[in-house]
């Protein structure tokens, strides 16, 4: 009977210890301000988009149209631009340098990414875009594209 109580007590203690450790981690990240509701929503959106946009039908090798590709992949920097226009560090994402944008023209993206629109260097909005034509923003004059590292060899943005 004492062994049964000991095993039950030990199991409960182990369970509480495990729960306690994960609680401290989430408390730490919340206190750093790194885990806001918006960031959590964006992360879950990007993961779901990442899964949905990896189908073979959407993936086009960027080398096929490298001369038409407006993205400067080689000079992209780590991180991404969130929906508030803030540049966030992330080892899983990269963001391109500014790209000249003409709202009267049509642009097409071959893989899902985040498009951030700017007017005279001032942030307007970030839009999550799947493959196909990107949203046209009338006041924008430049854009930056945030993309997942796994798309680096495949992603392209072309002007139609």
Note the pLDDT tens digit of each residue in 42-92.
Answer: 444 444 444 444 444 444 444 444 568 999 999 999 999 999 999 988 899
Structural domain of residue 117, as residue ranges?
Answer: 37-159
Q: Is residue 123 part of a domain?
A: yes
Q: Is residue 150 part of a domain?
A: yes
Q: Is residue 12 part of a domain?
A: no
What is the rounded distance in angstroms from the CA atom of residue 63 to the CA atom of residue 103?
26
Taking all residues of the chain, what is their mean pLDDT, rounded to a whole number? 75
Q: Is residue 126 part of a domain?
A: yes
40 has a pLDDT exceeding 50: no
Q: Is residue 4 part of a domain?
A: no
Question: In 3-state terms, what secondary structure has residue 157?
Answer: strand
Q: Is residue 96 part of a domain?
A: yes
What is the rounded distance in angstroms from the CA atom of residue 124 to the CA atom of residue 12?
52
Structural domains of the chain, count: 1
Q: Is residue 137 part of a domain?
A: yes
Give pTM, 2 decimals.
0.60
């Amino acid at each position: 009977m004492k062994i049964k109580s000991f095993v039950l007590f030990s199991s409960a203690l182990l369970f509480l210890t495990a729960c306690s450790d994960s609680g401290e981690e989430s408390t730490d990240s919340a206190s750093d301000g790194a885990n806001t509701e918006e960031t959590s929503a964006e992360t879950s959106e990007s993961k779901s988009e990442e899964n949905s946009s990896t189908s073979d039908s959407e993936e086009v090798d960027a080398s096929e149209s490298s001369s038409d590709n407006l993205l400067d992949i080689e000079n992209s920097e780590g991180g991404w631009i969130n929906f508030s226009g803030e540049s966030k560090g992330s080892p899983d994402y990269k963001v391109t340098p500014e790209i000249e944008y003409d709202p009267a023209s049509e642009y097409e993206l071959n893989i899902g990414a985040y498009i951030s629109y700017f007017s005279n260097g001032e942030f307007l909005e970030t839009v999550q875009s799947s493959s196909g034509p990107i949203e046209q923003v009338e006041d924008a004059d430049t854009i930056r594209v945030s993309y997942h590292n796994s798309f680096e060899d495949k992603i392209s943005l072309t002007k139609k």
